[in-house]
């Protein structure tokens, strides 16, 4: 292969890596935003895909897309499980 072709392949790989890095960076930015949103919501309320937008809209000023809903609902689910585990442990200790 000539140097000209190798150089073109290197540039294509570099462009692909740059594009991938931008996607990963954008995903982590969204993940961080949804973590902040989940911390501001009350974990004792039962949230669903249908009603989550009404609770989140005042916080961030827009509706969530499907991926963001999944992330927030997942974080709230694990927060609720942690609260339930703490309550169960406290009742066992008091018995």
The string of pLDDT tens digits covering residues 20-76 is: 999 999 999 999 999 999 999 988 888 999 999 999 999 899 988 999 999 999 999
Q: How many domains does the chain have?
A: 1
Helix axes 66-94, 52-60, angle to 10 degrees: 100
Question: What pLDDT sits at residue 1?
Answer: 62
| Cα angle 43, 27, 82; round to 5 | 25
Find the domain containing 45 and state its range: 3-94
Question: What pLDDT sits at residue 43?
Answer: 80
Cα 87 vs. chain centroid, distance in angstroms? 26
């Amino acid at each position: 292969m000539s140097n000209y072709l190798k150089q073109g392949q290197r540039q294509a790989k570099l462009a692909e890596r740059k594009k991938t890095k931008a996607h990963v960076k954008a995903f982590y930015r969204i993940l961080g935003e949804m973590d902040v949103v989940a911390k501001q919501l009350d974990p004792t309320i039962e949230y669903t895909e249908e009603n989550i937008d009404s609770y989140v809209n005042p916080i961030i000023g827009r509706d969530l897309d499907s991926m963001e809903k999944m992330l927030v609902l997942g974080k709230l689910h694990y927060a609720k499980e942690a609260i339930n585990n703490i309550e169960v442990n406290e009742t066992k200790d008091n018995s």
